[in-house]
Structure 1
Amino acid sequence: MDLACTEQIETTVFAQKDPCIFKDPRVMKNLLSQETMFVPQCNYFVEVQHDIQPFMRKVVTTWMHEVCEEQMCEDQILPLAVNCMDRFLCVCPIKKQQLQLLGATCLLIASKMRSTNSLPVELLCAYTDYSVTYEHIVSWELLVLSKLKWNVASVTGFDYIDQIIERFPWGSESNLLHRHAHTLVSISYTGT
């Protein structure tokens, strides 16, 4: 008996916005207090990493952004993936040859956390020009999760967008403003 769910959903369906959530000041307060748990705890370029330089992070995060754009990933994936990558780099030294593997692994984890359709491992291997294998990504998924103590549901800049925009009377009427805000948050995560 095959119990695998094999339905293919063509479009992403989002829940309707609950106006009570946007009017309650506790939501912003909770986001701000929880965010501190997910901020990288050190300057890992100086304190932990000996082989990784800031420009390398920029190259990999730009690559991650391009993968997300080409695959039309949900906006939440890139910020979460970069956050996981940064937090991992704070606790585990790696070689520069492993940075793209880490980026691909973090994209996989983030897509499983924040998307209805996770990125296939085979696709991530193809985006690395097969410089990493399926086995690499799967084993690094466990490594990353264990180093982050399985705490990957972090608060990111994306989580603030609707909270801020919806608090203004004109916020819910402007889809263009939402789109630009999402783009700004995504681009900000590729910088150093």
Structure 2
Amino acid sequence: MASRIVQQQQARGEAVVGGGKQQKKNGVADGRNRKALGDIGNLANVRGVVDAKPNRPITRSFGAQLLANAQAAAAADNSKRQACANVAGPPAVANEGVAVAKRAAPKPVSKKVIVKPKPSEKVTDIDASPDKKEVLKDKKKEGDANPKKKSQHTLTSVLTARSKAACGITNKPKEQIIDIDASDVDNELAAVEYIDDIYKFYKLVENESRPHDYIGSQPEINERMRAILVDWLIDVHTKFELSLETLYLTINIIDRFLAVKTVPRRELQLVGISAMLMASKYEEIWPPEVNDFVCLSDRAYTHEHILTMEKTILNKLEWTLTVPTPLVFLVRFIKASVPDQEVNVVVLDNMAHFLSELGMMNYATLMYCPSMVAASAVLAARCTLNKAPFWNETLKLHTGYSQEQLMDCARLLVGFHSTLENGKLRVVYRKYSDPQKGAVAVLPPAKFLLPEGSASQHS
């Protein structure tokens, strides 16, 4: 029976020995019908059994019997293996070869058919192509366009990144940045929603209100005279107990006015008095009266002199008093410097203000923009208090400056601190020697920032 079945399968559509013409017609018809049914896929459950006995005709009764059997698939697998192993004789070997050939031949064809080219596409033979690199490049592009491969690549990248992060291989500076506004979320006056935009605006406009170098254009005024005036105004500011905003705005008004107007030496103090009067009106709730400034000047200037100079200054400055001073940036930068609670907030705050006022008193810092002066004061304060690291990612983010960018200005402030104790202008020194301000002025300066200090340290 096995040999007869194999001959039928081998001679698909041809006459079987002893079968007659009717068998030939039936064989052709049965072959076509089986092929059509196979394409439809309605006999997928019995194909395993057919492969085990490839040439047995599938009748309706036999198909119904196989479908009714719940364990047909497992039994068909076992019978298939036993039939291939137990077939004997030359016809069986031939039949086995034919059966294996028929089962094996379609498999590679089916794999190739999966990537059938569309009718409009052109099939390129890589071996016959004159330039194999171009063909391989096209293949690579097609592979990249495959969403499945792309998703696998993405998943691999994610897993690799997570593995590196778990091992600590990658640097994560963003995780080192501290949210300095987290504690002020419920404080409406802190304006947490707008604070970043506010300081971005300050950084954009700080150079618009920044005075340029003017000492060369003032025939009767030099840097020493300016320092004496600022030192006296800081003393007046302390006696009146005015806000720091008033002091910084006063110095800004003086520098901007001297940059656009030539002033004789005898009127320099008058410019300072009028500038402080204007700043007090702008910043204070109860500003000092004009008569108070007349008394402070030992009646060197009258009431009319002060008001006339005030009007002149406003006209020259075009009534522009809303400007970002170093104090505006200093408050924000100090807040960014002490979120770790490792430094005494009061000491660092007073040290930064002390160095900032020293810079404001000296004309040499006028070459730096207000934000850089404030950031340098914070850096110099951290160096003076020996707070390591001197600069971190949080400060770099909020100030917009790296440590290297601030070193020149920071050295300048430390130099002012190192010479202040033996200098003649001691108002700032006395102000910040008070224990209520942490006595930060008496602390030793960070001389290792200075060139000579670093040289002596290395020697």
Which whole-Å deviations, capped at 9, do the CAs of 1:45-70 have from their partners, x for residues lacking one?
A: 113x1111111111111111110011
Q: Does 2:187 match 1:187?
A: no
Q: CA deviation at 1:122?
A: 1.0
Q: Please say which of residues 181-190 and 25-34 is displaced more in the overlay.
A: 181-190
Larger Rg: 2
- Which residue matches 1:64? 233
Of 20, 24, 38, which residue of structure 1 is paired with 2:192? 20
- Which residue matches 1:46? 216
Does the 8 Å contact 1:78/1:186 carry over to 2? Answer: no
Shift of the 163–125 alpha-carbon distance from structure 1 to 2, 3 Å rule, reads: same
Q: Which amino acid aligns with 1:35?
A: E
- The separation in 1 between residues aligned to 2:315 and 2:253, in whole angstroms, is 12
Q: Does 2:285 match 1:113?
A: no
Shift of the 181–98 alpha-carbon distance from structure 1 to 2, 3 Å rule, reads: same
- The separation in 2 between residues aligned to 1:117 and 1:140, in whole angstroms, is 21
RMSD, aligned CA: 2.3
Does the 8 Å contact 1:91/1:147 carry over to 2? Answer: yes
Higher normalized contact order (CA 8 Å, seq sep 6+, divided by chain length): 1
Q: Secondary structure at the match of 1:152?
A: coil
Of 131, 142, 146, which residue of structure 1 is paired with 2:311? 142
- Which residue matches 2:249? 80
Does the 8 Å contact 1:35/1:155 carry over to 2? Answer: yes
- Which residue matches 1:153? 322
- Which residue matches 2:206? 35
Which whole-Å deviations, capped at 9, do the CAs of 1:131-159 have from their partners, x for residues lacking one?
A: 11111111111000000000012111110
Q: Secondary structure at the match of 1:187?
A: helix
Q: Where in structure 2 are there 5+ consecutive unaligned residues? A: 1-186, 364-459
Q: Does 2:348 match 1:177?
A: yes
- The separation in 2 between residues aligned to 1:67 and 1:46, in whole angstroms, is 28
Q: CA deviation at 1:175?
A: 3.7
Q: Which amino acid aligns with 1:39?
A: R
Q: TM-score, normalised by structure 1?
A: 0.82
Does the 8 Å contact 1:76/1:114 carry over to 2? Answer: yes
- The separation in 2 between residues aligned to 1:114 and 1:176, in whole angstroms, is 26
- Percent identical: 25
Q: Name the one with the larger helix percent.
A: 2
Q: Where in structure 1 are there 5+ consecutive unaligned residues? A: 1-14
Shift of the 177–19 alpha-carbon distance from structure 1 to 2, 3 Å rule, reads: farther
Q: Secondary structure at the match of 2:221?
A: coil
Q: Does 2:305 match 1:133?
A: no
- Which residue matches 2:35? none
Q: CA deviation at 1:28?
A: 2.3
Does the 8 Å contact 1:113/1:153 carry over to 2? Answer: no
Shift of the 70–170 alpha-carbon distance from structure 1 to 2, 3 Å rule, reads: farther
Shift of the 149–71 alpha-carbon distance from structure 1 to 2, 3 Å rule, reads: same
Q: TM-score, normalised by structure 2?
A: 0.36
Q: CA deviation at 1:170?
A: 4.1
Aligned structure 1 segments of 4 or more residues deviating by more than 4 angstroms: none
Q: Does 2:294 match 1:122?
A: no
Of 246, 249, 258, which residue of structure 2 is paired with 1:89? 258
